[in-house]
Structure 1
Amino acid sequence: MPTNSAQTLYENQRYELIKQLEEGGHENPEVYLDGAGIPTMGVGFNLLVPENVIEILANGFGISDRTLAEDLQAEALAIKSEYDAAISAYKVANPKPSTMTDTEWSSRAATSALASLNASNSNHMSPQDRLDAIFQAAGNTGQFIIQPSATETAAQKIRNIFDALIEDYEITLSNRIGTSTLVSDYSNEHLALISLEYNNGNKLIGSGLKGALSSGNRFEAWYQIRYQSNRYLERGIAKRRYLEADLFQGEIVNVF
């Protein structure tokens, strides 16, 4: 049976790994748009997900207000819709040159959309400004930014939010992959898979990877993580998949 120290080590490594991959190693207490135009904060906390917003309010602000959580999520959804519309508008206005790849064209559209939505001036509110306004309209002072308190740093609050949210991902991962001779509790293999689940398990842990895990085919599982989970060959995603694949193989990964 694993000891409590093994579980604690795993939980700390899990947090440090995901913090590195989602935020470059530093908690982010403010709202920002991720690469897909999703309003995000903390350690990759997706504000489109109601449960995430509820936990952020509870552990980050000491607020229990479902109506406010729903209003913040609705504004996040509106921001994401505007991002998607901006992507489409860019592609209509700027047809893809024959010499440009689809990935590069989409990347330029995303850069343009992010710049447009992140602008903050007299004629436009940034995502942070917009969520601040929702937060303050509910009678709260200050911004919708996770702040330190007398007893906790902002980073500690973000860790508490993460710990509350990650358990659902662990349950979902367990249900998704079942049992495998390749994966044991608190192992590097489990760390790699929970990173995939946290990133987007529905898309990243598909039939190929599940089949490899079920049959105990380690090389095929490594291949599925490293290559089949990034079919569009995006560089940033490829770097993450390579790290997760190597972690699955038990190689030392410098993120802890």
Structure 2
Amino acid sequence: MNRRVATAVTMGVREFRRTPVLLALLAFLPAYIIGAFVLLVPDVDVPATIDGTTVTVPMADFAAAFMTPVTVAILSGIVGLFLVQTSQAADDRLRLAGYSATDLVVSRVGTLALGTAVVAAASVLVAVLVFTPESILPFVAATLLVGLTYGILGVVVGIVLGRLGGVYVMLFAPMVDVLMFQNPLATDAPKWTRLLPSHYATNALFDAAFTSGVDAWDFGGAVAYAAVLLAIGVLVFYRATDVE
């Protein structure tokens, strides 16, 4: 990372620090969402379909694992949204200071990755206080992929819809995606739900949480999905900043 990019990332982090609502969400929401669901669910075992196989797991363990991608998706999407909103004035100043398009794009991607890592770390920390995933490193990696995917979506949605409309979308989209269509307790989802942002990453996450094996195809699909979204996000961000 060159000095210009490092400076821009530092400026982006400072902008986040000046947004009390975002900091409050990052500190409070993981414990609230994951912890509340764990406390509210009954103390029973439930059958869950993981990678085509039915396994029986404690409901509290399932709730902790299941709400982790929901929490990360919501928070990462909001981080991406706020990144766009808070960086616009700074990007104008950086362009005047001689920053290139590449410098700006790399710095914003770096800031988004840093924010996503913080969100994922906070959510995983709360989850592992309740249960121990069968494969912890793949669990963390899958959580990061969920966060990166929705963080990039937050950037695109923030540019296209603005702050107010973007917040509504980034609050409800993860709930529809993960809660309704990626739920291992539900019946078979329609095939088109494989196109939803969290499909491959949540499959990998549930594998890592409750089975000893990890499907490389799910990880590959999640990485490919995030890479395609990143390419789209870079193009949208570049056009929005109007850098020549």
> Larger % of helix: which?
2
Greater RCO structure (CA 8 Å; 6+ sep): 2
Task: Mark the structure with the bigger radius of gyration.
Answer: 1
- State TM-score, norm by structure 2: 0.30
